[in-house]
């Protein structure tokens, strides 16, 4: 909806450990140390360290692979063309979350500094 912000605003993820994943009927919430979280209402692309890719819509109903991310730390963050948030984790996995709609929210990022709506 509003686009993915620049890396400067996303550096809050660096060094944060993913400590909880909450599954809802319409979204997933990733909670990190340091009061950082992402509430996702779109598909998540998960690239495993061996190169396999999982892309799911409504992954909270279909897949359990997201739990592989628990306990790992974010070591890279990128905003790709203002449309995709990419988080790289300490164990080599990557997730990508896209701003898919011009009309509706795709995801929200909550930090100590406030709420970023994408």
> pTM for the full model?
0.89
Please, what's the b/e burial string for 92-108 (b: 16 or more CB within 10 A of its CB; e: otherwise)? ebbbbbbbbeeeebbbb
The reply to whether 52 falls in a domain is yes
Q: Write out pLDDT tens, residues 52-111.
A: 988 876 545 555 688 899 999 999 999 999 999 999 999 999 999 999 888 888 999 999
Q: How far is C-alpha 72 from the chain's CA centre?
A: 13
Answer for the pair 3, 102: CB distance below 8 angstroms, yes or no: no
Question: What are the percentages of helix, strand and coil residues in the chain, rounded to 5?
Answer: 15, 45, 40
The reply to whether 118 falls in a domain is no
Domain housing 29? 7-112
State the total domains in the chain.
1
């Amino acid at each position: 909806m509003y686009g993915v912000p620049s890396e400067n605003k996303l550096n809050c993820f660096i060094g944060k450990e993913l400590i909880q994943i909450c599954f809802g009927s319409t979204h997933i919430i990733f909670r990190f140390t340091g009061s950082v979280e992402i509430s996702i209402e779109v598909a998540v692309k998960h690239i495993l360290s061996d190169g396999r890719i999982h892309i799911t819509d409504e992954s909270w109903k279909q897949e359990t692979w997201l739990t592989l991310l628990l306990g790992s730390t974010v070591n890279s963050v990128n905003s790709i063309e203002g449309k995709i948030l990419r988080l790289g984790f300490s164990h080599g996995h990557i997730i990508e979350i896209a701003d898919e709609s011009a009309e509706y929210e795709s995801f929200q990022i909550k930090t100590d500094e406030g709420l970023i709506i994408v």
